[in-house]
Structure 1
Amino acid sequence: MCCFFPLILRKIFSIIKKTDPTKSFFTEKVEKEFSLMKTFSRFGISSLLLVTILTWTLAACGGEDSTPKSSSSGTGVTVHLGYFPNLTHAAALVGLARKTYEQELGPNKLTTTIFNAGGDLVKVLLGGNIDIAFLGPDPAIYAYVQSKGSVHVLAGASSGGVLFVVQPDENINGPNDLHGKKIADPQKLNTQDVSLHHYLQQHGLKADDQGGDVQVIATSNANTVSLFKQHQIDGAWIPEPWASRLVAESKGKVLLDERTLWPDGKFVTTNIVVRTEFQKQHPDIVKAFLKAEVDTIQYINKNPAEAKNLANEYLASVLPGGKKLDQQIMDSAFDHLSVTYDPLAQTLYTFGDYAYSVGFLKEKPDLTGIYDLDPLNSVLSSQGLSPVTASK
């Protein structure tokens, strides 16, 4: 095996070079934009692929058995979970802080990876290195359509929690004041990016990437906070707690709470998605994970003060600096969102329409079959809770 090591390396780099998960899915312009996403994002998936294959190869050279996805003890399965350090992912943060997911998974091992936004996570998910993920609606749509059903939405996780915050001294009081302004969002093609582009479209405006004069800057949420403080941007369409940080730390003005754009003020911000192959191999693990999510959401809604503190402490433990957010920021952020396992399916379908209408997708996506809510409804039934639906 070792004598073929150089050939294996050459093959790996050939695969990485040729692989482009965006082809035949996004419009030609967006394919180019997507390929120019953050360099670390592109090489993140390549590195994971490389590390995985090198691990197998080196183990073979040493005559040792290496089985992917198995725990170190050999008594269970390693579940790879992806999420964002946002309060729209409170069900992840609180559940991890309370070790609810680990407890429900029993002998299986849970490992976690933090991502800035959906595009980064989707690449790793489709590469097979994430099994279950907390993910926004548009990246979930991209993953489902592009992979032709190898990813499914299992449940919702949050609704709302997204604000359009602008500089207090820029005289931005409505969409007509956005001409020539610089507006940040978390990442090209992510849900906030789709929402921002659609908002501009609805008001007769265009982003600079579509020939307009509103400059949309895709950057990490943490960097947006810095840019806003430095007056390098005029506003941001951004999730919590970053939105409330702009208000509290830089006196930002809330131009728009995205809930006001949706019927009853409800729209899905975060889903739970799973690789279909993983679900087929480990249905009991998936069901156990969903039970943990339902338990976590019920805990958050019944114990909001404790949940805020747990989320705050957990964020401090995983973000650079290790500093908890002021209580004012936490209270404001939680006031702007709700945690729910209801997938709010109609709003996901609408997000798909938005992505098509702003030119991010070549054709209107066929989302028939994107949901598999049977495992969740089984959990809900066992607890005497009402089922959820994927109907339009």
Structure 2
Amino acid sequence: MRSILTGAAVLAGGALLAAGCSSGGSSSSAAAGGTSSAGGSAPVTVRLGYLANITHAPALIGVKNGYFAKQLGSAGTLKTTVYTSGTQETTAILAGQIDAAYVGPNPAINAWQKSNGTAIKVISGAATGGASVVVKPGITSAAQLKGQSLATPSLGNTQDVAVRYWLKQQGLATSTTGGGDVAIKPTAPNSASVLEFKSGQIAGGSEPSPYDVEMVQAGGKVLLKEPGVTTVLMVTQPFLKAHPDIVVDLLKANLESIDYIKSNPAAAATAANDELAAYTGKPLKSSVLTPAFSEITFTADPDAVSFDADAQQAKAVGLLDSADLTGIFDLAPLNALLSAAGQASVSDG
């Protein structure tokens, strides 16, 4: 079952989240952590969130190619919800509306901090790279952005934090309300930022793939390539505790998607694009899809060092109270799978 949650739907208020409804009109009767019968024979409902971004290709491919369904088998039923930003996913996680999500590091960090370390665990990486600050061609330095507006996916998301921190390093102030030397304008969906850039309403944006590529093809230039982890897979702690075997199934599907991308990149790009089109209404042009995929490294390594840097940056720009991430990772199930496959383990620090 699929549903799409738009920015307007999330911002409509807690009543919508409490009802478990999406903009597509579907609703979930599953309790937090999934459902099972008294005898334990009914499949667990796994409520998975992700974004309609190429940086979330492992999720898109896992759904399109049936990897999640295959790995869950008769033990679980997948229900997916597509969000327009990781900030929305954090809201859904904390409201008990989804059990697992592909998100950027900063939304995961926000969920961790807002719950005092009780809500989530990061269990795997998914993608590194694939985000850029793209600006008008005449802009060649940060100084030329003074007095200009830049779009980001949402306040406090990974690209939002990255551009605010970079601007601060260049001596330019921002504020959460759009003030300061450079006005940061959280805009959803990402495609709206591309349209605003084309029409000249903004000077550029800090966007994930494929939207950074679309801005470049609309005449923009890359002013900054944002390094580090872009997408991870997180689960709620109650779900992890109640259904550890189901979590392993999610990890298997994630690894299968990543392996497919590495072994069949062209076919993987097509699969991701087909699934993306199911939500956006149209596929990406090949001229966008190919460079969008090529700027991303798909990997199960969540890059803990990069995670720490993201937290430090969010704190530096006033979007996080504490950068202490002790305990945010649970990589033991992932490393067990990697070891069984003869692959190197990943580190939580």
Is 1:96 aligned with 2:54?
A: no
Contact kept? 2:10, 2:17, Cα under 8 Å = no
State the alpha-carbon separation in 2 of the partners of residues 93 and 146 from structure 1: 28
| d(CA) in 2 for partners of 1:197, 1:222 | 21
**Paired residue type of 2:93:** L
Distance 1:44 1:81 in 2: 21
Structure 2 residue 135 is matched with structure 1 residue 166: yes
The answer to whether the 8 A contact 1:141-1:352 is kept is yes
Letter in 1 for 2:252: K
Cα distance per residue 1:102-139 (max 9 Å; x no partner): 11011110000011111111111111110010011111
Call closer, same or farther: CA 1:332–1:71 in 2, change over 3 Å. Answer: farther
Matches within 5 A, 1:77-116: 77-107=44-74, 108-116=76-84
Shift of 1:213: 1.9
SS class of match (1:306): helix
SS in 2 for 1:212: coil
Find the aligned partners of 1:285 and 1:45 in 2 and give their Cα distance. Answer: 28
Post-superposition shift, 1:70? 2.7
Within 2, Cα distance between the matches of 1:323 and 1:40? 21
Pick aligned residue for 1:179 from 127, 139, 146: 146
Match of 1:276 in 2: 237
Structure 2 match to 1:368: 326
CA distance in 1, matches of 2:77, 2:320: 37
- Judge conservation of contact 1:159–1:340 (CA < 8 Å) in 2: yes
Unaligned 5+ residue runs, structure 2? 1-6, 22-28
- Displacement of 1:51 in angstroms is 5.0
1:48 matches 2:17: yes
Give the TM-score of the pair, scaled to structure 2.
Answer: 0.90
- Equivalent position of 1:246 in the other structure: 215
Residues 312-327 of structure 1 aligned to structure 2 (within 5 Å)? 312-319=273-280, 322-327=281-286
Contact 1:71/1:109 (8 A) holds in 2 = no
In structure 1, distance between residues paired with 2:323 and 2:301: 22
Tell me by how many angstroms 1:247 deviates: 1.7
Residue 136 of structure 1 corresponds to 104
Secondary structure of 2:160 counterpart: helix
1:345 partnered with 2:304: yes
Aligned partners of 1:287, 1:324: CA distance in 2, in Å?
Answer: 31
Taking the aligned partners of 2:233 and 2:348, their CA distance within structure 1 comes to: 14
Q: Is the contact between residue 123 and residue 234 of structure 2 (CA under 8 Å) also seen in structure 1?
A: yes
CA change 1:188–1:109 in 2 (3 A) is same
| 1:1-392 paired onto structure 2 within 5 Å | 40-43=9-12, 45-51=14-20, 68=31, 69-70=34-35, 75-107=42-74, 108-149=76-117, 150-168=119-137, 171-209=138-176, 212-220=180-188, 221-248=190-217, 250-259=218-227, 267-319=228-280, 322-362=281-321, 364-391=322-349
TM-score of the superposed pair, with normalisation by structure 1: 0.80
Report the secondary structure of 1:369's partner residue.
coil
**Alpha-carbon separation, structure 2, partners of 1:201 and 1:337:** 26
1:242 maps to a residue whose letter is Y
C-alpha distance in 1 between matches for 2:103 and 2:123: 11
For residues 13 and 69 of structure 2, the distance between their equivalents in structure 1, rounded to whole angstroms, comes to: 26
Count how many residue pairs are aligned between Structure 1 and Structure 2. 328
Shift of 1:67: 6.4
CA contact (8 A) 1:136 1:271 kept: yes
**Local SS of the residue matching 1:371:** coil
| Secondary structure, counterpart of 1:243 in structure 2 | helix
1:222, distance to aligned residue in structure 2 (A): 1.4
DSSP-derived class of the 2:12 partner: helix
- Whole-angstrom CA distance in 1 between matches of 2:30 and 2:64: 29
Contact 1:166 1:255 in 2 (8 A): yes
Query: 2 CA distance for matches of 1:112 and 1:254?
Result: 33
Contact kept, 8 Å, 1:78 with 1:109, in 2: the verdict is yes
Structure 1 unaligned segments of length 5 or more: list them. Answer: 1-37, 53-65, 260-266
Amino acid at match of 1:42: L
Q: Distance in 2 between matches of 1:45 and 1:163?
A: 32
Query: 1:354 Cα shift?
Result: 0.4
How far 1:195 moved relative to its partner?
A: 0.3
Shift of 1:75: 2.3
Other-structure match for 1:28: none
Greater CA radius of gyration, 1 or 2? 1
Asked if structure 2 preserves the Cα contact closer than 8 Å seen for 1:83 and 1:133, the reply is yes
> For 1:46 and 1:304, how far apart are their aligned partners in 2?
42
C-alpha RMSD of matched pairs (Å) = 1.8
Counterparts of 1:292 and 1:51 in 2: how far apart (Å)? 25
**Identity of aligned pairs, percent?**
40
Cα distance between partner residues in 2 of 1:306 and 1:71:
36
Residue 45 of structure 1 deviates from its aligned partner by: 4.3
Contact between 2:155 and 2:176, CA under 8 Å: does it hold in 1? no
